[in-house]
Amino acid sequence: MPLALIALAAIPITAGTLRLVEVFGGPHNLPTNPRITASPAPVVIHIVTASLYAVLGALQFSVALRRRHPRWHRMSGRLVVPLGLTVALSALWMMAFYSGPQDTNALLPIRFAFGIGLAACITIGLVAIRRGDVRRHQAWMTRGYAIALGAGTQVFTLGLGKPVVGSGPLAISLLLIAAWCINLPIAEYDLRRTRRARGRRPAPAVQPA
Ligand code: HEM
């Protein structure tokens, strides 16, 4: 599972690394993004935190890692939570202040909702684990990660969808939103499957953090 998640995030992480190289004066390997050229700060913060969140977040789902190194999950979680919140806040920052084709249609509020949703899921997941509610914690952290990894699924929805629906602002917004509409039901399906597999076993005991 963690490897598949990291593989899904690999393309946006690679694109982000190339963008960072460009922002810090290296060669230009990606199409110019005038919003980033004009105001690189939010995207630099976004790329660094999103890449770390995607990789460390994926490892949080490893049952083997949690069993073999129980402290790892807790220590890493203390990094993953602020990273995830920074991904959400930097995305909201860009959506609010970057002027571009994405703000010429009515779908921007939906993208905003997913940014707020990411922050909300992580916050609810954090509150849950502080109260010792492991299942609620797992559920909301999974939902938050599914929203964030929309960036990976968007590579596919854009790649496959553009030839079909075109590259207009409305089409692009719909293809971006489609990625979240794919990821969230998959996350819910996985949560239900895990719940069923656990059956009536009691939740693992945990000391409130
Ligand atoms: C782990 C998850 C994520 C990764 C790896 C990621 C990666 C990236 C990268 C690499 C860029 C720069 C694109 C470029 O160079 O042109 C970017 C931009 C952006 N991201 Fe993310 N992202 C993630 C999550 C999110 C989420 C959850 C949202 C919104 C809810 C979001 C919204 C944005 C926005 C609005 C931009 C600016 C796009 C523009 O105006 O050109 N990202 N992201």
Q: What is the mean pLDDT of the chain?
A: 90
Query: Mean pLDDT throughout 32-44?
Result: 92
Name the residue ranges covered by the structural domains of the chain: 2-198
d(CA 58, CA 146): 10
Instruction: Check whether 46 has a pLDDT greater than 90.
Output: yes
> 17 C-alpha vs ligand 1 centroid, how far in Å?
12
- The percentage of the chain sitting over the pLDDT mark of 70, rounded to a whole number, equals 91
d(CA 97, CA 110): 16
For the stretch 89-116, pLDDT in tens is 999 999 888 866 555 566 788 889 999 9
By alpha-carbon position, which residue is closest to atom 30 of ligand 1?
Answer: 115
For the stretch 70-90, pLDDT in tens is 899 999 999 999 999 999 999
> 100 C-alpha vs ligand 1 centroid, how far in Å?
14
Looking from the CA of residue 30, the nearest atom of ligand 1 is 15
> 94 C-alpha vs ligand 1 centroid, how far in Å?
9
For the stretch 151-193, pLDDT in tens is 999 999 999 999 998 888 788 888 989 999 999 999 999 999 9
By alpha-carbon position, which residue is closest to atom 18 of ligand 1?
Answer: 43
Q: What is the pLDDT of residue 97?
A: 85
Q: What is the pLDDT of residue 108?
A: 80
Long-range contacts of 2-8 (CB under 8 A, 24+ apart): 2/58, 2/59, 2/61, 2/62, 2/65, 3/58, 5/54, 5/57, 5/58, 5/61, 5/145, 5/149, 6/54, 6/55, 6/58, 8/149, 8/152, 8/153
> 46 C-alpha vs ligand 1 centroid, how far in Å?
7
Q: What is the pLDDT of residue 202?
A: 58
Tell which residue, 153, 194, 143, 155, has the closest CA to residue 15: 155
Read off the pTM.
Answer: 0.91
